[in-house]
Amino acid sequence: MLAGKRIVLGVTGGIAAYKAVEVCRRLIDAGAHVTPILTEGALHFVGETTFSALASEPVRTSLWDVDHDQDGSPIAHTRLGQEADLVLVAPATARLLSDYRTGRSDDLLTATLIATRAPVIVAPAMHTEMWEHPSVSENLGVLRARGVHVVPPEEGRLAGGDSGAGRLADPSTIVARVESVLAKQPTSGDLGGLRILITAGGTREPIDPVRYIGNRSSGKQGFALAEEAAARGADVTVVATVRRPVSTGIEVVTVETADEMHDAVVSRAPTCDVVVMAAAVADFRPVTTAGSKIKKAQGPPEVRLEPTVDILAALGSSKPTGQTLVGFAAETDSVRQNAESKLRAKGADLIVANDVSAPGAGFEHDTNEVVILSTSGAIEVAKADKRVIARAVLDAVISTRSSQ
Ligand code: CTP
């Protein structure tokens, strides 16, 4: 399972750093290629020589380390992260979690974490008071929501004779987690060569220059799909109504209204292998848009509405051979039944249905819970981070394409 996998093992400054030696040895025994990065703090607890003797490559400690394999110049701070199949930080101090959360990257380990698209596991270890501090819980919550895996600490003896929650998880537990995370990784590059168009966010239909009819979509699910697709090798374009940070290589086209989204999507779709309509497109828009702000003194305006074009249905009726079309269904009642009728009515290959009224699912949340429907059946995906949902949707796309 771990044979040949490139693992960056980050070690930060805590007494548990000595246990990272055992983690390193186990990873090497299992056949992994381990590159250790020790922070300045870690060097107060463990020696470079110990890790260098055990690992596959010499220990790296600084952004300015010289790379003997690459003509003796400083190693690119991004290289280790880009090449890694997985980055593991054990132990992870409160400082590391905070820097990683905020994107502060002034040492080699944090720069590597920011530069990687590989899965990341952090195994925190610290005193109980620090572990239970809201700042640490909050940082971990944000990292978890971004898809970072956390091996929580255990209860037991801590430095300085204290005992309580905060002791680094056992090396065997940490290595087991590395195995399970890598086992669940899709074959990297399984979407290589595919052009994927994804829509994200809710459209806004203007009433006047300051007011609009909108909805609660945050675009998080669409952008999670884009990131996951890009990480798996696809050539990705997102047509979105919201701006969110994206990895380099993802093209973002910003639109506002259903009409603009229609034009941006319809002009690009014919050359795409996969189109995912994750956006919440308005069904109705004001018949007219006032050119200047409607003043309160004019009294409540009567806003007459007309239907927008159904982009998904339009794509479904002109779908090129070999294209996979994915729609979403935002429902509050009879989820499965409504989604099944959307699958048929709109000519989609897959419909990702979610109950937007369920706790922790749908609009604005970082998590979602969906049923992926196709004409050949349904896959239920339990509540999980939107990136995990994205993974399941793209897995379904791949299996649909293999039978298309
Ligand atoms: N959709 C679209 N164009 C529209 C409305 C919806 O492309 N004008 C797409 C959405 O992006 C989504 C799917 O159709 O992929 C289903 O959207 P949803 O809002 O759940 O359903 P509607 O078709 O709008 O039907 P209803 O609101 O009655 O449930």
Predicted local confidence at residue 69, as pLDDT: 46
Q: Where are the domains of the chain?
A: 6-183, 195-403
From residue 201, alpha-carbon distances to 255, 286, 389 in Å are 10, 19, 16
pLDDT at residue 70, rounded to an integer: 46
Nearest CA to ligand 1 atom 4: 310
CATH class of 6-183: alpha beta
Span from the CA of 207 to the centroid of ligand 1 (angstroms)? 21
Output the six-digit token pair for 220: 């998080």
Ligand 1, pocket residues at CB < 6 Å: 258, 277, 279, 281, 283, 308, 310-312, 327-330, 342
- Give Cβ neighbours of residue 108 (< 8 Å, ≥ 6 apart): 37, 60, 61, 62, 63, 65, 77, 80
How high is the mean pLDDT in each 10-residue block of the chain (404 residues)? Answer: 83 95 95 92 93 90 66 62 90 98 94 92 96 97 94 87 88 96 76 94 98 96 92 91 84 97 97 97 98 96 97 97 96 94 97 92 87 94 86 94 88
The CATH homologous superfamily for domain 195-403 is: CoaB-like (3.40.50.10300)
Residues noted as catalytic: 215
Question: Going by CA atoms, what residue is nearest to atom 27 of ligand 1?
Answer: 283
Cβ-based neighbour number of residue 274 at 10 Å: 26
Ligand 1 center to 185 CA (angstroms): 31
In this chain, the answer to whether the domains covering 6-183 and 195-403 adopt an identical fold is yes
